[in-house]
């Protein structure tokens, strides 16, 4: 089982938007300057907004909201996707994806689960922590804020991929799953937490 590494904060953190945004989109001047979040010790500072010194236009940089669904079958297996595309191609991932503009996070999660697995989510609860990720796609580094939902589904007999180009479905035994098999940083952090909590509750 190979270990998959992804980008880390700071290393690729300047790819977007600093490389791409150089001119004010309103007046076209070159005085479009990034303003950083206040630096805290040990943490990477990110560009918070751009400000045009010529016309005063401001453009704020925000994380994209993304979702992932934890769906357990028979208390033994977790529903995962083997990623067919970069980033982290070939690694395991949870079903889920980006929240569209104007869409709620839970709607995005339910939509993505159906698109990827043909399963209908019947109930879900929001995990009490969120996770940051950097998602390199098409040369642009997107910063995401990931929400996790613990879900139940209607009928496992419906399980099939509706979008094979995104990846293949795998039911992975929880006692065989390791965080190293998971490529995306935020998903790996959640899986690490989940497996640790599960081993504490099942062994104690």
- Positions that interact with Zn ion (CB under 5 A): 24, 26-27, 52, 54-55, 57
Phi/psi for 108 (5° steps) reads -60, -45
The DSSP secondary-structure symbol of 166 reads T
- 74 is written with which tokens? 């028979």
Say how far apart CA 126 and CA 55 lie, in whole Å: 43
The alpha carbon of 118 is separated from its chain's Cα centroid by a whole number of angstroms, namely 20
Task: State in angstroms the smallest separation of the CB of 54 from Zn ion.
Answer: 5
Residue spans of beta strands (DSSP E) within the chain: 32-36, 47-52, 58-60, 64-73, 77-83, 92-93, 96-98, 121-137, 140-153, 167-173
Residue closer to Zn ion (CB basis): 17 or 90:
17
Task: State in angstroms the smallest separation of the CB of 60 from Zn ion.
Answer: 15
Task: State in angstroms the smallest separation of the CB of 58 from Zn ion.
Answer: 10
Residue closer to Zn ion (CB basis): 55 or 64:
55
Task: State in angstroms the smallest separation of the CB of 172 from Zn ion.
Answer: 51
Residue closer to Zn ion (CB basis): 23 or 137:
23
Residue closer to Zn ion (CB basis): 24 or 79:
24
Task: State in angstroms the smallest separation of the CB of 33 from Zn ion.
Answer: 10
Say how far apart CA 131 and CA 143 lie, in whole Å: 11
- Among 156, 145, 134, which Cα is nearest to 68's? 145
């Amino acid at each position: 089982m190979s270990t998959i590494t992804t980008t880390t904060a700071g290393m690729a953190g300047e790819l977007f938007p600093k490389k791409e945004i150089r001119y004010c989109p309103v007046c076209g001047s070159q005085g479009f300057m990034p303003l950083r979040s206040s630096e805290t010790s040990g943490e990477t500072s990110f560009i918070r907004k751009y400000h045009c010194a010529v016309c005063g236009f401001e453009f704020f940089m925000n994380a994209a909201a993304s979702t992932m669904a934890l769906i357990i079958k028979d208390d033994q297996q977790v529903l995962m996707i083997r990623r067919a595309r970069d980033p982290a191609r070939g690694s395991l991932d949870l079903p889920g994806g980006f929240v569209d503009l104007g869409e709620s996070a839970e709607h995005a999660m339910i939509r993505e689960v159906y698109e990827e697995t043909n399963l209908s989510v019947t109930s879900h609860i929001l995990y009490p922590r969120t996770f940051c990720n950097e998602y390199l796609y098409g040369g642009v580094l997107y910063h995401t804020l990931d929400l996790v939902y613990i879900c139940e589904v209607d009928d496992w007999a419906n399980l099939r991929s509706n979008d094979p180009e995104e990846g293949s479905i795998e039911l992975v035994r929880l006692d065989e799953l390791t965080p190293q098999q998971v490529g995306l940083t935020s998903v790996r952090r959640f899986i690490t937490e989940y497996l640790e909590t599960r081993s504490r509750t099942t062994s104690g």
